[in-house]
Amino acid sequence: MKEYTLKYGCNPHQKPARIFASDGELPIQVVNGQAGYINLLDALNAYQLVRELKEALHLPAAASFKHVSPAGAAVGLPLSETLRKMYFVEEEELSPLACAYARARGADRMCSFGDFIALSDECDESTARLIAAEVSDGVIAPGYTKEALEILKTKRKGAYTVIQIDESYRPPEMEIRTVYGITFEQRRNDCVITPELLSNVVTKNNTLPEEAKRDLTVALIALKYTQSNSVCYAMDGQTIGVGAGQQSRIHCTRLAGGKADLWRLRHHEKVLSLPFREGLSRPERDNAIEAYVSGESWRVTSPETWPLYFAKQPPEFSDEEKKAFLAAFEGVSLGSDAFFPFADNIERARESGVLYIAQPGGSVRDQEVIAKCDELGIAMCFTGLRLFHH
């Protein structure tokens, strides 16, 4: 197939719309449903991310994409009982690939609502069952087992978008795009990110455990496909907070840090034992949890509203309890797609448990940033590699 016609472009009034191959055939096949313009942008960016994660860390990988940035990305490490409960997969038998998707989806469940999914490996039945339980626009993978495809075809009354990509495909060295009638050309961002990139540690604390190298690799590869400016917090083989598309780096750090804090608060026993009302959907649970752990708990705990979400009124979760719980949060890794221009980013990152940082370096204030890391006991490496993505 050399060409695929789309329903419309970014918006319904942008017609006609299509994708096509200038040379040869398209490396993708839509095996179910109809892919849209934004779907395909998400799918192709997300698939590059998971393919590179697998190559770098030798584990199956998954990504949950929304509006051309990852809401979550992860490799297929086993889930603890706490994570199983957090991600609503307590009773599931999980393959390594399913573990990767459960982590990617669970990183930021609010932002993953209606995601486009990318899988590094053939989609198996275990992973398809997780996808079937979530609100999602579609999935891209190098293949699907017969059982998995049958499950996925039941979503959206048979209209769920399923894309298969040729995993041997490699794009041309040069990429081209048109903006306002003007053609841009550049070498595609084919930099290779592996743990070996993290050797230039510039702080007094020069210890990067293997787990930190893994998590920093996850963060940097995720940033390679995140709209800039961007910062990513990662832990336990998955992203836990992505701040994308902010004009100020401190706002990236705050946004991603706030998401990482919410992810951590979901570990609290009060959250894990919330008495949800029978029949409450997963999105409704996500909304209730988000309000309960954020500063808007009144939305779901007041006498007028708690019966909409819970079988009984949930216990108060005070700011003091939250602060104490977050204070014990340690071992988080953080990647940045460009240098930190001010030390305030380091202070904010440390508030969310960050002990390991990877960034390009190159700011006139590098020494101030290094000094702040030394003061706070953070190990930081300079990669020399900027990862802007637009």
Q: Which domain holds residue 96?
A: 3-170
The phi and psi torsions of 235 (rounded to 5 degrees) equal: -160, 140
Last residue of a domain, one of 152, 170, 188: 170
Asked, as a colleague might, if the bond just before 229 is cis with ω within 30 of 0, I would say: yes
Residue at 338 is within a domain: yes
pLDDT band at 98 (very low <50, low <70, confident <90, very high): very high
Q: Are residues 87 and 34 in the same domain?
A: yes
CB 176 within 8 A of CB 23: no
Same domain, 41 and 85: yes
Angle at the Cα of 234 (from 229 to 235), degrees rounded to 5? 175
Same domain? 224 vs 254: yes
Report, as an integer, the average pLDDT of 237-265: 96
Query: What is the 3 state secondary structure string of the chain?
Result: CCEEECCCCCCCCCCCCEEECCCCCCCEEEEECCCCHHHHHHHHHHHHHHHHHHHHHCCCEEEEEECCEEEEEEECCCCCHHHHHHCCCCCCCCCHHHHHHHHHHHCCCCCCCCEEEEECCCECHHHHHHHHCCCEEEEEECCECHHHHHHHCCHHHHCCEEEEECCCCCCCCEEEEEECCEEEEEECCCCCCCHHHHCCECCCCCCCCHHHHHHHHHHHHHHHCCCCCEEEEEECCEEEEEEECCCCHHHHHHHHHHHHHHHHHCCCHHHHCCCECCCCCHHHHHHHHHHHHCCCCHHHHCCCCHHHHECCCCCCCCHHHHHHHHHCCCCEEEEECCCCCCCHHHHHHHHCCEEEEEECCCCCCHHHHHHHHHHHCCEEEECCCCCCCC
pLDDT of residue 23: 84
Domain at 196, CATH number: 3.40.140.20
Residue 387 within any structural domain of the chain: no
pLDDT band at 297 (very low <50, low <70, confident <90, very high): confident
Q: Residue 155 pLDDT > 90, yes or no?
A: yes
Would 94 be classed as within a structural domain? Answer: yes
The pLDDT value given to residue 151? 97
Say whether both 139 and 184 belong to one domain: no
Given 143, 170, 197, which residue is the final one in a domain? Answer: 170
Considering the domain architecture, whether residues 226 and 349 belong to the same structural domain is answered as yes
36, 24 contact by CB (below 8 A): no
Q: Please, which pLDDT band fits residue 1 given cuts at 50, 70 and 90?
A: confident
User: What is the pTM (predicted TM-score) of this model?
Assistant: 0.95
Please check whether residue 341 lies inside any domain of the structure. yes
Residue 390 lies inside a defined structural domain of this protein:
no
- Cα–Cα dist 137/38, whole Å: 10
For residue 389, is it within any domain? no
136/52 same-domain check = yes
State whether 201 and 118 are in the same domain: no
User: Amino acid identity of 97?
Assistant: L
CA distance 300 to 292: 7
Question: Is 90 exceeded by the pLDDT of residue 202?
Answer: yes
pLDDT tier for residue 138 given thresholds of 50, 70 and 90: very high
Q: Do 151 and 124 reside in the same domain of the chain?
A: yes
46 and 130 in a common domain: yes
In the predicted model, is pLDDT for residue 267 greater than 90? yes
Q: Are residues 365 and 344 part of one domain?
A: yes
Give the number of residues written for the chain.
Answer: 390
| Active site residues per annotation | 66-67, 229, 390
Cβ partners under 8 Å of residue 339, min gap 6: 359, 360, 361, 362, 363, 366, 369, 386
pLDDT exceeds 90 at position 24: no
One domain for residues 227 and 366: yes
Q: Are 358 and 216 in contact (CB under 8 A)?
A: yes
Number of independent structural domains in the chain: 3
How far apart are alpha carbons 119 and 277 in whole angstroms? 33
Mean pLDDT, the chain, integer = 95
Question: Residue 298: what pLDDT?
Answer: 83
Please give the Cα distance from 269 to 266 (Å, whole number).
8
Distance separating alpha carbons of residues 307 and 151, to the nearest angstrom: 34
Cβ-based neighbours of 11, under 8 Å, separated by 6 or more: none
Q: Show Cβ contacts of residue 219 under 8 Å, excluding neighbours closer than 6 positions.
A: 232, 233, 234, 239, 333, 334, 335, 358
User: How many CB atoms are located within 10 Å of the residue 321 CB?
Assistant: 14
| 284 pLDDT above the threshold of 90 | yes
**Same-domain check for residues 214 and 136:** no
Last residue of a domain, one of 294, 316, 338: 316
Judged against a pLDDT cut of 90, whether residue 91 lies above it is answered with: no
- Residue 210's φ and ψ, nearest 5 degrees, are -60, -35
Residues 6+ apart with CB under 8 A from 354: 233, 332, 333, 334, 378
* pLDDT-based confidence at residue 337 (cuts at 50, 70, 90): very high
Which tens digits make up the pLDDT trace of 217-237?
999 999 999 999 999 999 999
Structure confidence at residue 268 (pLDDT): 96
Q: Residue 296: inside a domain, yes or no?
A: yes
Asked whether residue 321 is domain-assigned, the answer is no
